[in-house]
Amino acid sequence: MAAPFLARRVWNRPPFRVDLVRCRACGFMFFNPRMTGEEEQRLYSGYRSDEYQKMRLSCEPWYTEAFNERLNSPEVWKTRKEKLADVFKRHFYEQPIASILDFGGDRGDLIVDLVPGAERFVYDISRVEPLPGITSLHDLDACRARRFDLIVSSNVLEHVNYPRQFLGQIADVAAPGKLVFIEVPYETPYSALNLAKRLAQNVILLAARTGIGLRLMRPAAMIQMHEHVNFFNPRALEQLVRAMGWSMISSGVYPLGIYRVGPLQIPSARMAWCVART
């Protein structure tokens, strides 16, 4: 089912049934129907702003201001960067990287201190104000007008309607032979983590937003299409990158940490990452 918040923000309607599709060759999964570009824009414009948080809270009582802020907190980013420090050191510090583009990077948290001295840019449809020192590029033409030594895309592919089209945009912006770093959650909607999270959320909903909660009292509501519309594993990510004609330099998996739902602490998803050359 489409999650109540998603149904309301994107389509302004109650939750409805969607299909979950799985590729037999690589295990990639996605929700169908796909969102159009316009629908994606409705979902992500003003991402995590006050207005966004309030609308989300009205559908999801756990999505408080504090919760919203924690998602982007310096501690969360610090943990993620620590996990990736080795990868970055190995691949990005031994060659000159003068400019970095964070593609779909929200405020540019990942790249803000990635390579000291490099020029930093972010392209994001949310139009969120970037962190100090990072220049926001508002459209693909503005991206194409520059040359980047490294393009990163972290936690974006699982949100986009057409992953190949999205990587095509990166390919279009990247000069040949440049580096691309991609990371995505390594997850399925059936994972114990996602099911536990959903169960906890549905119970909270039943207590706090009984109207919405009752609508979710059915097995189909355990699998919800929310922000993540694609579900990757390392093989699916590799297939996707190879389909772009890029050469894979390195790839791996790391665990993220702890996810909190109210009083519950659940070990969070793993991340799958890769470094490729365009």
**Positions that interact with Zn ion (CB under 5 A):** 23, 25-26, 28
- The least distance separating Zn ion from the CB of residue 234, rounded to whole angstroms, comes to 12
Q: Which is nearer to Zn ion, 26 or 223 (CB)?
A: 26
- The least distance separating Zn ion from the CB of residue 219, rounded to whole angstroms, comes to 26
- The least distance separating Zn ion from the CB of residue 239, rounded to whole angstroms, comes to 5
Residue (of 233, 169, 173) closest to 23 by Cα position: 233
φ and ψ of 75, to 5 deg: -65, -45
Cα gap 220→253, rounded to integer Å: 30
Coil, strand or helix at 207: helix
Q: Which is nearer to Zn ion, 25 or 71 (CB)?
A: 25
- The least distance separating Zn ion from the CB of residue 130, rounded to whole angstroms, comes to 34
Q: Which is nearer to Zn ion, 240 or 269 (CB)?
A: 240
- The least distance separating Zn ion from the CB of residue 235, rounded to whole angstroms, comes to 8
Cβ neighbours of 217 (radius 10 Å): 10
Beta-strand pair 150-154/179-186: parallel
Q: Which is nearer to Zn ion, 23 or 253 (CB)?
A: 23
Q: Give Cβ neighbours of residue 225 (< 8 Å, ≥ 6 apart).
A: 1, 2, 3, 6, 18, 20, 31
Q: Which is nearer to Zn ion, 26 or 196 (CB)?
A: 26
H or E element: which one contains 75? helix 74-92
Query: What are the structure tokens assigned to 139, written together?
Result: 């459209």
